[in-house]
Structure 1
């Protein structure tokens, strides 16, 4: 059989094929074939602007393959072979995986291009022995966030919440050790990158700002707080240039009936607050506009909704009940779509998603090169 010269395909045909591709990752792969295909598929031709994150499912036992659930298509697809992530604890930020191996080494891995960068070892954290906990490589890091995509800039920072008391630390390319943020007023629950700084929220519902590129990179400044809430789970996320705090209810284990030893759990409500950092005003809102939030294990992100593939004013959430994963071995079932306006919940995934090391998590689609 004669070999096909893919670069010789008719330009008009290539342009039309490119315009029919609906998934951003497929469009990126189309552009990577050769120079003529990339020329026939300029970024402006991608019509389906909603870049919904994919749900990365837990790995099959002893397998290097990872499955991704694609919400717009309502299907599961087996994507790239990822031996770099096998048997490791995984976190997700800006389309990258932050991994921790049983030997406590850490890496940044891009699941689609398979680019990889080393991160400082867990044992390079200040006072890591004092902060140590059971199942170190699976539980020592609580959250990991990138400031920017390492494929596009060498000037990026990784911020993590770590240890049994939830401390902040960061590393930059070339660092041999993690640098601790000294300011701590309570366990940090979540952290996000917003307008050039990292913003973290702790168990006291205080929001702390960290300017790791400023004059005092190891100091966190309190910029907002409230005493009205005692959340089970709290997220902080940037959305359309605004800073939102989201409280989640029902994520912890609770008795089925009063006095019963049998437990259950399941999300039943989210509360969304718009935070004005200049006035410390927390406004509960029922409308986040033409956007959707994707929340869950190490994932707090917002995307523009197109009304077709992603529904506006919704929260897409994954299972965040740590106790269910580790002690009950029943995690991975509390996943759905929450309507912020009326409080209704609908499911989106019914498969088996239990895995203590890598719960289901949102991964942003690859960027076009």
Structure 2
């Protein structure tokens, strides 16, 4: 949560528990360059002493990435070679970030303050279109999802890539390891389909602030609808809520 004074805190909407975070005023109030927070990701539960919170912020010229631990006095700027970072995810204590056009995905070791550039994918993996990219922590590694759009907002399909740690490259795949992906601008995650009997495995459930939501079936590339949600009523973005195990 963020207020008009750029003070931030984590809120559990079910228990009303609050974890205070450093204010952004110390970084932005002097020059007025701050526009808004794109996304926040956590490495662990906020009660974990090793928890790290990464924050994606948009300024006049760049998308900046900051991090802190609960109890820190201020945010620390993450030094990355990528400009316009649009998504991030933690996996095995490394923070993976991707920029607007997926020129490449970088992994950052926040404990050592070192960036490790990951190899780019095959031909067709990168382009300069309005397609959107998501990073999601899968059961065996980070996943990169490319969402193909038409008319700037309507989804026409998805491509899924997994990181091959041995080959150091992104490899296209049609398998979610019997799981499901839930994609959103602020929240994206993988869940085992065995925990959701009413949902078909190997599927992508997506929703977006631009009045677009549905289900994409990876096996045959077909689409389905999400029961109970009316696309015509999407004046604002819906968001996924991560269930407690």
**Alpha-carbon deviation of 1:126?**
6.5
TM-score of the two chains, using structure 1 as the length reference: 0.59
Aligned to 1:350: 230
Residue 283 of structure 1, CA deviation: 1.6
Contact 1:155 1:173 in 2 (8 A): no
Is the 1:287–1:340 contact (alpha carbons within 8 Å) kept by the matching residues of 2?
yes
Structure 1 residue corresponding to 2:167, chosen from 265, 279, 282: 279
Q: Secondary structure at the match of 2:198?
A: coil
- The answer to whether the 8 A contact 1:243-1:276 is kept is no
Match in the other structure for 1:121: 23
| Contact 1:233–1:251 (8 Å) recurs in 2 | no
Indicate the structure with greater helix content: 1
Q: 1:224 aligns with which of 108, 119, 124?
A: 119
Supply the distance in 1 between the matched residues of 2:118 and 2:173 (Cα, whole angstroms): 20
Residue 251 (structure 1) shift: 6.5
Counterpart-to-counterpart distance in 2, 1:222 and 1:127: 32
- Aligned-pair distance for 1:278? 4.0
| Structure 1 residues 268 and 347: alpha-carbon distance in aligned structure 2, compared to 1, 3 A threshold | same
> Whole-Å Cα distance in 1 between the matches of residues 28 and 167 of structure 2?
35
CA distance 1:223–1:131, shift in 2 (3 Å): farther
Structure 1 unmatched ranges of 5 or more: 1-98, 134-139, 254-264, 322-332
Q: Superposed, which structure 2 residues align to 1:273-312 within 5 Å?
A: 273-306=161-194, 308-312=197-201
Any conservation in 2 of the 1:124–1:176 contact (CA below 8 Å)? no
Q: Aligned with 2:25: secondary structure?
A: helix
Q: Does structure 1 residue 163 correspond to structure 2 residue 44? A: no
Gaps of 5+ in 2: none
Q: Give the Cα separation in 2 of the matches to 1:243 and 1:144.
A: 17
1:281 Cα deviation after fit: 2.2
* 1:143 alignment partner in structure 2: 39
Q: TM-score, normalised by structure 2?
A: 0.87
Higher radius of gyration, 1 or 2? 1
* 1:242 aligned residue: 141
Question: What secondary structure is seen at the aligned counterpart in 1 of 2:208?
Answer: coil
Relative to structure 1, is the Cα distance of residues 252 and 105 closer, same or farther in structure 2, using a 3 angstrom cutoff? farther
Q: Structure 2 vs 1, CA of residues 312 and 274 (structure 1 numbering), >3 Å: closer, same or farther?
A: same
- DSSP 3-state at the match of 1:100: coil
Q: Provide the aligned length of Structure 1 versus Structure 2.
A: 234
Give the structure with the larger strand fraction: 2
Off by >6 Å, runs of 4+ in structure 1: none
Q: Does 1:319 align with 2:208?
A: yes
Aligned pairs (5 A) from 1:44-193: 99-125=1-27, 129=31, 131-133=33-35, 140-151=36-47, 153-164=48-59, 165-193=62-90
Q: 3-state DSSP class of the match of 2:6?
A: coil
Contact 1:125 1:179 in 2 (8 A): no
Deviation string for 1:166-223 (max 9, x for gaps)?
Answer: 1111011111211001223321121001011111112343111122223x2xx43312
Residue 155 of structure 2 aligns to a residue in which SS? coil
